[in-house]
Structure 1
Amino acid sequence: MTIKYVIFDMDGVLVDSEPFWAESQIETLAQYGVHITEPDCEKYTRGVRVDELATIWCEMFNLAIQSTALRNQIVDTVCQKISANAQPMDGVYELLDFLKEKHIPVALATSSDRQVIKAVFDKLNFWDYFPIQCTAADEELAKPHPAVYLTAVKALNAKVKDCMIIEDSVTGLIAAKAANVRTFIVNEKFNDERFAIADERMASLRDVLAKLKMEL
């Protein structure tokens, strides 16, 4: 299978932002007397769209605040943390430069909204790498529905069989495979059985780069 296009998730793939999402949820919910943990965030909200994330907590804890207001608080906190402290995932620029050298077009397909995309791209200078930015916030259905990935394939003017997706979450993996696209999982816990449906499972983007150097 020839790889002609690569579609990237963002949080946890391009940027080490998952801790910021967890911290922001923990800090925001604490203002309403609710105490959650990082494992709670991993279990219930990793990879989901932020409006759905807020709804999950509002319903789980019967919060008086409107989910849209909670969503806005969490997103604002995440963006502040990204702007101050975000770091790229190991190997990301090397992989992006390799794909550019090979004339492999890339696209972004993330559950984060455009406010978060802007914070990440401004901080880490990703604008020139990703002329195509797709967000599940623009879709009727979020991951694990494949809509955002199918939108990215269409935006690339590509065929599904020519694409690959790089994901880090179970929710994103389900979406990617539902789009019928070859999917690489990049996660320190890549041996987790929940990732078994991935086409490739790797610990870092440097492993992805090594694999693609053999294929391209």
Structure 2
Amino acid sequence: MTIKNVIFDMDGVLIDSEPFWAEAQISILARYGINITDDDCEKYTRGVRVDELAVIWIDMFHLDITPAALKEEIIQTVCLRITAEGKPMAGLYELLDFLKSKQIQLALATSSNRQVIQAVFDKLKLWDYFPIQCTAADEELAKPHPAVYLSAVKKLAASVRECVIIEDSVTGLIAAKAANIRTFIVNPNHNNDRFAIADKRVATLNDVLAILKSEL
């Protein structure tokens, strides 16, 4: 199998932002008298598009707030944290530079909207690495539907057989495999059975780099 394209998820793959998303949800819901935990965020909303994330909490706790308002509160909070404290995942630039040296095309396919993409790309200076940026916010259906990944493949003018996806969440993994694309899970808990359908399961992007160096 020839690898010509690598498609990256963003939150938890390019940037260590998943704690920001969890903290935003926890702190904002606390203002409405609702107590949730990191584990609740992991279980119910990790990898989920933010508009759908807002609906999940509103429906679960019968909150007296519109999904649009809750969504905006969460996005603003997350973007502020990214701008102030965002850090790349370990091994990110080494992996990106290696792929560029091998003339591998790169694309982004994230559940986050373009406001969050801009915050991340500005903070980490990623614009030159990713000429193609796809967001599930532009799709009718979000992850775990494969639409955003199929859009990335189309923009790359590639076949799914020539692509690899790098993901960190169960929701994203389901989307990637539904697109019939080889998928690497990068997660400290990669050996968890919920990631069993991944083609490769590793702890860090440095591990992805080691694999791809042996294949390219």
Per the shorter chain, which TM-score range?
over 0.9
Equivalent-residue separation in structure 1 for 2:37 and 2:204 (angstroms): 25
1:186 corresponds to which residue? 186
2:97 corresponds to which residue? 97
Matched, 1:143 2:105: no
Within-5 A mapping of 1:118-129: 118-129=118-129
2:55 corresponds to which residue? 55
Alignment RMSD: 0.4
Secondary structure at the counterpart of residue 184 of structure 1: strand
Within-5 A mapping of 1:203-214: 203-214=203-214
What code does the residue aligned with 2:150 have?
L
What code does the residue aligned with 1:17 have?
S
Segments of 4+ moved more than 6 angstroms: none
Shift in Å, 1:2: 1.1
Percentage of matched positions with identical amino acids = 73
2:176 corresponds to which residue? 176
Equivalent-residue separation in structure 1 for 2:54 and 2:95 (angstroms): 33
TM superposition score normalised by structure 1: 1.00
TM superposition score normalised by structure 2: 1.00
Equivalent-residue separation in structure 2 for 1:29 and 1:68 (angstroms): 14
Shift in Å, 1:149: 0.1
- State the Cα deviation string for residues 6-59 of structure 1 (Å, max 9, x = none): 000000000000000000001111111111111000000000000000000000
Equivalent-residue separation in structure 2 for 1:68 and 1:58 (angstroms): 11
What code does the residue aligned with 2:94 have?
E
Shift in Å, 1:152: 0.2
Equivalent-residue separation in structure 1 for 2:36 and 2:199 (angstroms): 33
For these two proteins, the number of residue pairs brought into alignment is 216
Secondary structure at the counterpart of residue 144 of structure 2: coil
1:7 corresponds to which residue? 7
Secondary structure at the counterpart of residue 116 of structure 1: helix
Query: Which runs of 5 or more residues in structure 1 are unaligned?
Result: none
- State the Cα deviation string for residues 39-82 of structure 1 (Å, max 9, x = none): 00000000000000000000000000001100000000000000
Query: Which runs of 5 or more residues in structure 2 are unaligned?
Result: none
Equivalent-residue separation in structure 1 for 2:31 and 2:138 (angstroms): 29
What code does the residue aligned with 2:63 have?
L
2:152 corresponds to which residue? 152
2:197 corresponds to which residue? 197
Equivalent-residue separation in structure 1 for 2:182 and 2:5 (angstroms): 11
Equivalent-residue separation in structure 1 for 2:203 and 2:70 (angstroms): 33
Shift in Å, 1:145: 0.1
Equivalent-residue separation in structure 1 for 2:33 and 2:187 (angstroms): 32
- State the Cα deviation string for residues 91-122 of structure 1 (Å, max 9, x = none): 00000000000000000000000000000000
Secondary structure at the counterpart of residue 103 of structure 2: coil
